[in-house]
Amino acid sequence: MRVPLSWLREYVDLPAGESGRDVQAKLVATGLEVETVEQLGAGLEGPLVVGKVLTIEELEGFKKPIRFCTVDVGQANGSGEPQEIVCGARNFAVGDKVVVVLPGATLPGDFKIAARKTYGKVSHGMICSGDELGMGDDGTDGIIVLPPEYEPGTDAIELLQLVDEVLDIAVTANRGDCLSLRGIAREAAIAYGLPLRDPALLDVPPPNSYGYPVKVADPMGCDRFTARTVVGLDPEARSPIWLRRRLQKAGMRPISLAVDVTNYVMLELGQPLHAYDRSRVDGTIGVRRAEPGEKLTTLDGTQRVLDDGDLVITDNRGPIGLAGVMGGANTEIADAVADPETGVIAGTTDVVIEAAHFDAVSIARTARRHRLTSEASKRFERGVDPQAASAAAQRTVDLLVLLAGGTAEAGVTEVVSPSGPRTITVSADHPDRVAGVTYGRETVVRRLQQVGCDVYGNTAAWNASLRGGGRETGGQDELVVTVPSWRPDLTDPNDLAEEVIRLEGYENLPSTLPKPPAGRGLTERQRLHRRVGRALAGAGYVEALNYPFIGETVLDQLGLDEDDPRRRTVRLVNPLSDEEPLLRTTLLPGLLTALRRNDGRGSHDLALFETGLVFRPTGDEKPAVRLPVDRRPTDEEIAALDAALPEQPRRVAVVLAGAREQDGWWGKGRPATWADAVEAGRTVAREAGVELIVRQDQHAPFHPGRCAALLAVTDGEEVLVGNAGELHPRVTKALGLPERTCAMEIDLDRLERAGLGVVQAPRISTFPVATQDVALIVDASVPAAEVEASLRSGAGDLLESLRLFDVFTGEQVGEGKKSLAYALRFRAPDRTLTADEASAARDAAVATAVERTGAVLRGA
C-alpha cells in the first residue's frame, strides 16, 4: 500500500516538521511494516511552469517527426516573450496548455536543462512528459496536456504536486483495513495520540424502495449490496489534477473520471467499488453463483469460462462481472467519442455505482482459479469493512456530482443480510499474562478503544472480585469487547491481547531467555544432520535450500522408468504453482535447477548440497481425519493422522559441475568427476561412523557406465543407502545442464541405522607406519571395490588404511585385463612392526585377493 504523506495529513494533523522517515518509525513501532519512504521530486529545481502552445512548425528532413514550437510561459522567462522549444512529441496542438521546463532547471536524475542547438534550431527548454518529471504512468505515453483553465507561467511544481513523500507499506494478510488511507490514518492517529478525521463519517440517506433494482440470490457470498445512480454526467469531464496525482502516487494509473473516482474512494476508504454504464445494464442487477460453463469477458479483454464456485454479478442477459474481482466488458464505462458527422460527443452519461461486501474465501478462490488478482480482490481477500459500503457509495456519488456535473437520483438500494456485532469476553489482565508485563485495566481499555472497540466491564464479576479481595477468591474482572466492523481479524482474547501489546510497544517487552532443563540438547539424529552439513561445507560444497515441489515433467527428464518408486508422488490440493503440484521424491530436481540457474548466470564451477525430507507414499496411507479445534486431539486421533502421512525419509544430495580444483600457480586444476560424487557419499557416511561399500550400478538418472551403488552393512546385511555418479547425457541435455554433471544422493536415515551410535575418535598410535605397495592384475569386469574388500579381509587387524592410487590397462597386462595398484599402511598399537610382519600381512592380503577375485600379482 503506497501512502502519500500529503494525503495522509488530510485525516491526521501530523506535526508540521514531521518527515516521512519520522512517520515510518512511528508506524513500525505500532506493528506495520513500512518498507521504504520514496522521496518524490528529489533533486527537482525550477523554473517549471505552465505554458500555452502558440505555434507549431513541422521540421522536415529528419528520420523522425520533429516540431519547432513557440510557447507562452508568461513572465517565467523574465521577458514575457514566447519560448522557442524543439519537441518530438505529437500528442498536443496549438492552444494546448503544457508543462515547460526552462533553462537553469534540474529534473529528477540530475538532468540539467540549458539552451542547446538541435535539429538546426536552438531549443530554450523542454516540453515535459510525465515520465520525465517522475510522475509515473498517466496513460498518454506523451506530453502532459493540462486543462485549459491554468494561466501561462503558473508554477507547475506546486500545481502537479511533484514534491512529496510516499510510504510503501507491506500489509499483512490479516490487516485488510490498512489497504486504505482510512486504516493507515487510524494507525498514525494512535501512534501520535492525535484525533482522526474519519473520511467514512458522511451523511448517508437511508435506503428506499425506488433505487436501482437488485436481487441477491446468495446472501452467504454477498451479505451487503448498495447501489446508487448518478445521471447527466458530462462525458468530456476529465479527472482533476489533484485526483490524478493522488492515484499516481498510490501506484494506480488514471483512466477516466468515473473509474478514477471509484479507485480514489477505494484507496481512501478501503471499499472496492464498480461503476456500470446504466445504458448497458439490462434490467435487475443480481448476485448469484455462476452456472458451469458460463462465459464472461472481463475488462482486461479475456473471455473466461466460469466455475460454479464463482460469484457473479448479472443482469437479464447473464453475467456482467466477476464479483469482487473484475467487471465485465459488456457494461464498461464508454470513453467520450465525437461523432464524425455531427461532432456530438457521445459517452457514458448515466452510471450505477456498486458498493458490496463479498465473502473473503469465495473471492480468494475465484481470483486464484482464474489467475486474476486485482486491487479489489486483494482487499476482499483480506477483509473489507461491511459498514463502509454505503459511505463509499455516497462518497463516489458526491465526487461524480462535483466533478462531472451529474445529478444523484434519490433512489438508494441496500440489500443487507441480518448480522450482529461480534463480541469477545476477555479478562482485563489477559494481556498482562500473555506479555508478562503489568499494563493495568485502564491501559487495556484505552488501547482497545483506540483501535475502535467498544469496551464494557462485567460489573457483577468486578464487584464480586472486590468484595472477595481480588483474584485469590476466584473473582475476575472481565471485559466485554465489541469488535469494530473494519477488524474482522479480531476473533478471540489473544487477538485483543496482541492489539494492546503492539500499541504499548513490542520493544518494551522484557527479554527473558528460557531456561532449558539441564542435560538436554540436540538428539543424536540432529547432531548427525549438523555434522553432515559441516563436513560437506568443509569439503567445498555450498548449501542450497529448495522448495519441496516438483512437476511430472522433471521425472520424465530424469529418465525414470514407469514403475520407478520415485514416480509415486503426493499431489497437493492447492499448490503454489500448477506446474509443480507434487511433493518431491528425490532431492535432485531442486538441486539441478539451482545448478542450471547459477551456471546460466556465469558461475560454471559449482558444488552444491542439500539435506531435506522427501515424500515416498507406500499406497497404504488412509484418508486423513479432520482434527477438532475445540479440544486437544486424542492420542488415537493423532495416530490416525500420522497414519495418513507418507514416509518422509531425510536425505542428503550433492551436484557438481565444472572444475573441482582450479588452475593456478600451483599447477593444473581438474574437472569434477563421478569419483568426486562417490567421495561425497563417503564423507557423509564417515560422519555416521559407516564405511561405505561401493559397487557398479545402473540407476536413473545416472550414466550406466559411471554409476555407483553406495551400500552399508545393517544387521549383517548389505543395504543400499544411495547412488552416485555422472548424469546420463540425455538427462543433462533435457535439463539444460553442463556436460558431465555429477550427483550423489544418500538416505541419512538408513545411514543412521547402519551406524554404531556415537562416532568414536580414532586412536592414534605413536609407533611408525610400515607401507607396502601391491599391484594386482584382474579381469576388467572385476570391480575395484571387490578387490579392495578382499585385501582388507586378508590383511587383518594390522592394516590401518588402504588406497587405490593407480589403474592401468594396456598390452603389458593383456587384453581384457586391468592393473590395480594399492598402497597398504600397516601399524601396530603397541610396537614397531618388523619388515617380516609387514610383508606377511601384505602376502596374506594378496593371497585372499587371489583366492576371491582371481587376481595375479603383477611382476610375479
For residues 791 and 799, give the distance between their C-alpha atoms in angstroms, rounded to a whole number: 9
Distance CA 444, CA 189 (A): 18
What's the confidence (pLDDT) of residue 223? 93
Provide mean pLDDT across the span 778-792. 89
Residue 472 pLDDT grade (very low, low, confident, very high; cuts 50, 70, 90): very low
pLDDT digits (tens, 9 = 90+) for 111-140: 888 989 988 889 999 998 888 888 876 666
pLDDT (0 to 100) of residue 666: 87
DSSP code string of 240-269: -HHHHHHHHHTT-----HHHHHHHHHHHHH
306 alpha carbon, distance to own chain's centre: 27
788 Cβ contact partners less than 8 Å away, ≥ 6 residues apart: 802, 804, 822
Interval 426-448: pLDDT, tens: 999 999 999 989 999 999 999 99
Q: What is the β-pairing status of strands 606-613 and 542-543?
A: parallel
DSSP string over 41-68: TTT-BS-EEEEEEEEEEEE-SSSS-EEE
C-alpha distance from residue 401 to each of 226, 236, 853 (Å): 18, 14, 99
Region 641-654: what's the mean pLDDT? 93
How confident is the model over 322-330, as a mean pLDDT? 93
**Looking at residue 500, what is its pLDDT?**
95
Check pLDDT > 80 for residue 760.
Answer: no
Distance from C-alpha of 179 to C-alpha of 413, rounded to nearest angstrom = 26
Higher-confidence residue of 213 and 109: namely 213
Q: Quick check: 219 and 419 in contact, CB under 8 A? A: no
175-179, 459-463, 765-769, 852-856: least confident range: 459-463
459 pLDDT band (50/70/90 cuts)? low
Backbone angles phi, psi at 752, to 5 degrees: -60, -40
Is it the case that residue 344 has pLDDT exceeding 80?
A: no
pLDDT at 85: 92
43 or 175: which leads in pLDDT: 175
Confidence bin at 660 (pLDDT 50/70/90)? very high
Indicate if the pLDDT at residue 471 is higher than 60. no
pLDDT tens per residue, range 795-812: 998 999 899 999 999 888
Rounded mean pLDDT, 453-472:
60
pLDDT tier at 860, thresholds 50, 70, 90: low
240 or 621: which leads in pLDDT: 240
Of 802, 791, 796, 798, the closest CA to residue 828 belongs to: 798
pLDDT level of residue 79 (50, 70, 90 thresholds): confident
What H or E segment, with its residue span, contains residue 478? strand 478-482
Whether the per-residue pLDDT at 2 is higher than 90: the answer is yes
- The cell for 706 is 559411471
Strands 285-289 and 311-315: antiparallel
Q: What is the reported pLDDT for 473?
A: 34
Mean pLDDT of 487-515: 90
| Predicted local confidence at residue 759, as pLDDT | 66
pLDDT averaged over every residue in the chain? 90
Query: What is the reported pLDDT for 143?
Result: 87
Reported as a single tens digit per residue, the pLDDT across 30-41 is 999 999 999 988
Q: Report the helix count and the strand count for the chain, using DSSP H and E.
A: 22, 44
Beta strands per DSSP E along 699-835: 702-714, 717-727, 742-747, 770-779, 799-808, 817-826
Arithmetic mean of pLDDT, 344-350: 85
**Cell 512528459 found at:** 129
For 11, the grid coordinates are 485525516
CA distance 165 to 6: 8
559: buried, middle or exposed (CB in 10 Å: 19+, 13-18, 0-12)? Answer: middle
Q: Is residue 466 predicted with pLDDT exceeding 80? A: no
* String of DSSP letters for 302-346: -EEE--TT-EEEEETTEEEEETTTEEBGGGPPPPPEE-TTT--EE
Cβ atoms of 314 and 288 within 8 Å: the answer is yes
Q: What percent of the chain has pLDDT over 90?
A: 67
Span 139-170, pLDDT tens digits? 666 888 998 889 999 999 999 999 999 999 99
